[in-house]
Amino acid sequence: RKPTLAVVGATGAVGTVMLQILSQHADIWGEIRLVASPRSAGRKLAVRGEQVEVHALSEDVFDGVDVAMFDVPDEVAAQWAPVAASKGVVVVDNSAAFRMDPDVPLVVPEVNPHAARVRPRGIVANPNCTTLSMIVAVGALHAEFGLRELIVSSYQAVSGAGRDGVDTLRRQIQLVAGSELGTSPGDVRRAVGDDTGPFPEPVALNVVPWAGSLKDDGWSSEEMKVRDESRKILGLPGLRVAATCVRVPVITTHSLTVHARFEDEVTVDRAREILATAPGVVLFDNPAAGEFPTPADVVGTDPTWVGRVRRSLDDPTALELFVCGDNLRKGAALNTAQIAELVAKEFTA
């Protein structure tokens, strides 16, 4: 029997990519039931080449469902994932509501697939897109070299903030295009006006050193997620992590610079071999030929792309990398689908 899948949050930015992925991956699901907020109920969306009606989120919508992917706000997931789980549904949740719950595994199939089998609450969590955009590459290096410390800076795309983020950047690009803006203090801000959407500052012609909400001692929620989630996924509770998260005027695909320090000396040759053969990673690293990943080339692809692999000049145990990953695919929908596919094997085995 092919398991029944529910996609909760089918109409959102990630949900849209999820439906594309479900249409492209092997057809392992029986019914695919689409679920969203009541205001989207009755709409029809294309999945697997068919128009499928969207149902309003309710307890009954989980009747007969085996696996449910959730991509909804934290508070909606916090309320509804346990409802689905109480009906025997295995929930794969892409919110932050359960990621750090010790009874909820946080899974990246290339790194810790075994963790998905132990789920006391019936919920498996999907990491945040910023963590996911680098962790497959870092995990492959950790498996060989033993990770001691991560220092990362992110260059995050506006679609990480959902459709509102994308609409905001597109609107601002119109307002600043073809002008002499960007040459005197505050000129971009005045052109863009007060409506900066989900961002604290204009994002067109700018970079904004902020993502998420304010946490203790000046850290952002996004920076804390990179630290906490990397530790949990890699099974390294004491890993030293320092992250600085920055929003850039890119529509989709998060990039990160990574300084990774390991237990012993590393070589670039061995690091390149590992990255070239790791599942889910593409090594694209030939600066002499101008070859390194950029978001504009990576968007729409599945793997984590790695370039600029160097050994630290001042520390032979450390590597420097530049990493790009599509935040809506591997960063969200794809990893969720991969986890759901792992779980689905339990139904068909």
DSSP 214: B
Which element (helix H / strand E) includes 335?
helix 334-348
Of the candidates 348, 349, 345, the one whose C-alpha atom is nearest the C-alpha of residue 116 is 345
CA–CA distance, 283 with 306 (Å, rounded to integer): 5
Of the candidates 72, 151, 144, 139, the one whose C-alpha atom is nearest the C-alpha of residue 109 is 139
147 with 259: CB under 8 angstroms?
no
Instruction: Give the one residue of 116, 129, 166, 324 binding ligand 2RA; rule: CB under 6 A.
Output: 129
Q: For ligand 2RA, which is the closer residue by CB, 40 or 253?
A: 253
Q: For ligand 2RA, which is the closer residue by CB, 4 or 128?
A: 128
Token duo for residue 303: 């793997």
**Is there binding between residue 222 and ligand 2RA (CB under 6 A)?**
yes
Q: What are 213's strand-pairing partners? A: none
Q: How far is the CB of 286 from ligand 2RA (least distance, A)?
A: 29
Instruction: Give the one residue of 122, 160, 249, 293 binding ligand 2RA; rule: CB under 6 A.
Output: 160
Residues 142, 245, 254, 324: which is the catalytic one? 254
254 with 154: CB under 8 angstroms?
yes
DSSP secondary structure of 14-72 = HHHHHHHHHHHS----S-EEEEE-GGGTT-EEEETTEEEEEEEP-SGGGTT-SEEEE-S
DSSP 112: -
Does residue 203 have a known ligand-binding role? no
254 is catalytic: yes
Does residue 160 have a known ligand-binding role? yes
**Is there binding between residue 130 and ligand 2RA (CB under 6 A)?**
yes
**Is there binding between residue 139 and ligand 2RA (CB under 6 A)?**
no
**Is there binding between residue 54 and ligand 2RA (CB under 6 A)?**
no
129 is catalytic: yes
Of the candidates 193, 221, 224, 188, the one whose C-alpha atom is nearest the C-alpha of residue 205 is 188
Of the candidates 156, 177, 105, the one whose C-alpha atom is nearest the C-alpha of residue 331 is 156
Instruction: Give the one residue of 11, 126, 128, 255 binding ligand 2RA; rule: CB under 6 A.
Output: 128
Q: Distances in Å between the alpha carbon of 124 and those of 65, 67, 91, 127, 210?
A: 16, 11, 6, 10, 28
Q: For ligand 2RA, which is the closer residue by CB, 211 or 324?
A: 211
Segment contacting ligand 2RA by CB under 6 A, of 61-69, 125-133, 136-144, 261-269: 125-133
**Is there binding between residue 168 and ligand 2RA (CB under 6 A)?**
no
Token duo for residue 312: 């630290």
Site string for ligand 2RA, 76-95 (x = CB under 6 A): --------------------
In the complex, residue closest to ligand 2RA by CB: 160
Q: How far is the CB of 322 from ligand 2RA (least distance, A)?
A: 18
Q: How far is the CB of 247 from ligand 2RA (least distance, A)?
A: 7
Instruction: Give the one residue of 111, 147, 176, 211 binding ligand 2RA; rule: CB under 6 A.
Output: 211
Known binding-site positions for NADP(+): 11-14, 39-40, 159-160, 327
Binding site for ligand 2RA (CB under 6 A): 128-130, 156, 160-161, 211, 222
Residues marked active site are found at 129, 254
- Binding site, residues? 11-14, 39-40, 99, 156, 159-160, 247, 327
